[in-house]
Amino acid sequence: MTSTAARPTAAGRARSVARYAAGRLATAAASLAAVVVAGFFLFRILPGDPVRAMTEGREVTAEQREELRRQFGLDRPLWQQFLDYVTGLLRMDLGTSFQYREPVADLILERIGPTVLLAGTGTLLAALLGLFLGARAGWRPGGPGDRVNTAVALFFWSVPTFWLGLLLIVLLASGRGFMPGLFPTGGMTAPGTTGPVSTVLDTAWHMVLPVTTMVAVIYAQYLMIMRSSLMDEKGADYLTTARAKGLRDALVRRRHAVPNALLPTVTLLFLNLGQVVSGVILVETVFSWPGLGQLFYSGLRVPDLGLVQGLFVVFAASVILMNLLADLVYPLLDPRVRP
């Protein structure tokens, strides 16, 4: 009882790593399958007739409607449609966009770069800011720093993302009113920008407002998660040990409390990645950022359900894959669950 707890054999360790990873992979695979099925039925069954939804409020003749129906394979039996859809997915074929007359997969590949750039930068900055402020707020709950931080975070959390973006444009980009137009109102680069250095600089310039919007809306939840996580750790015995060792308060927090509080936080951060997707769609829409979010919006406006469906599957799948990644990385962070 006293010594068996220590040091499992290497073979046992490898086995439990394999079992853990296999379990996570199976869960992720089941989730992905569910997304594929949901993606199909959401867009075929629910409205009864996607062509009618697409053409609602437009002048379309019955022949045109039939033509559309044939084009999307809607005249065939449902099970065959589903089979076509699944085999298509396996070949990375997400169908054809009604609006662009192009394969959805190609459209997505073209625009995934800008989205990853924007979402990645925004999430990274929001996480850093939120975790930093949350650790400070949670260390002295009820103190003045905590009150201000929590109030600001709650306000930004309550503000609709797109409205904050619009506000920033009116204030800092439109050039009307009392403020000069400091930043571009939208897009990723100004037309006519050439050369690698100026392209990078111009892109960064165009990113300031979109990234600010994303950070402002997302950081609040990171702050709140970190804050409550740290509050849970505050009474821990090992912090008394650290204090007894003569560490400064800030060091007790940074070296001992925060690393422990980070662990539950990481899981929750990944669980909230769906919010990042929502945020990036809205920010790209508002700032005309040429990425997947704007593509999604353009698909909605038409409506181009083939495109929306393809993006639905891609967005959902990417969140599931990121969660799988988090599950597989977590054991590296927490020595206790490290198999």
Partner 1 sequence: MSAPAGLSRPSAPRALARVRRREAVRRFAREYARNRAGVAGLAALLAIGALALAAPLLVDQNELTVTGAPGAAYQPPGAEYPLGTDNFGRSILDLVVWGSRVSLTVGFLATGVSVVLGTLVGMTAGHFGASGGSAGRFVSSALMRVTDWFLVLPTLVLAVALAAVLPRGTGTIVLAIGLTVWPATARLVRAQTLAVEARPYVERARALGGGHAHVMVWHVLPNVMPVVLAQTTLLVATSIIAESTLAFLGVGDPTTVSWGGVLEAARNAGAISSGIWWYMVPPGLAVAVVALSFTLCGRALESVINPRLREQR
Partner 2 sequence: MTSLLDVRDLHVTYRTGDGRVPAVRGVDLALDPGDTLGVAGESGSGKSTAALALLRLLPDTADVTGQVLLEGEDVLGMRWGRLRAVRWAGASVVFQGAMHSLNPVRRIGDQIAEPMAVHGTVPARRAPERVAALLEQVGLPSSRARDYPHQLSGGQRQRVMIAMALACEPRLVVADEATTALDVMIQAQILALLRRLVAEHGIGMLMISHDLSVLAATCDRVAVMYAGRIVERGPAREVVHEPAHPYAGALSAAFPRIGDPASRLAPRGLPGDPPDPADPPPGCVFRPRCPVAEAVCATVDPPLWPVVPAGSDHQAACVHVGPARPLTTRGEGAAPPALAPVEEEGP
Judged by the rule CB under 8 A, the positions of this chain that interact with partner 2 are 1-3, 5-7, 236-238, 240-248, 251, 255-256, 259-260, 263, 334-336
60 is an interface residue for partner 1 by CB under 8 A: no
Reported as type and span, the H/E element at residue 54 is helix 50-55
How far apart CA 104 and CA 134 sit, in angstroms, is 41
Which amino acid makes up residue 118?
L
CB of 115 to partner 1, least distance (A): 13
How far apart CA 230 and CA 260 sit, in angstroms, is 8
Instruction: Choose among partner 1, partner 2, none what residue 6 binds, the Cβ cut-off being 5 to 8 Å by kind.
Output: partner 2
Instruction: Identify which of residues 176 and 248 has a Cβ nearer to partner 2 in the complex.
Output: 248
How far apart CA 332 and CA 266 sit, in angstroms, is 12
307-328: b (≥16 Cβ within 10 Å) or e: bbbbbbbbbbbbbbebbbebbe
Which of 78, 148, 167, 201 is the binder for partner 1 (CB under 8 A)? 167
Instruction: Identify which of residues 117 and 268 has a Cβ nearer to partner 1 in the complex.
Output: 268
162 is an interface residue for partner 1 by CB under 8 A: yes
Chain centroid to CA 73: how far?
32
Which of 301, 329, 337, 338 is the binder for partner 1 (CB under 8 A)? 301
Which of 20, 24, 47, 243 is the binder for partner 1 (CB under 8 A)? 47
62-81: b (≥16 Cβ within 10 Å) or e: eeeeeebbeebeeeeeeeeb
User: Interface residues with partner 1 (CB under 8 A)?
Assistant: 30-31, 34-35, 42-43, 46-47, 50, 53, 56, 141-142, 154-155, 157-164, 166-167, 169-171, 173-177, 185, 231, 271, 273-275, 277-278, 281-282, 285-286, 296-297, 300-301, 303, 305, 308-309, 311-312, 315-316, 319-320, 323
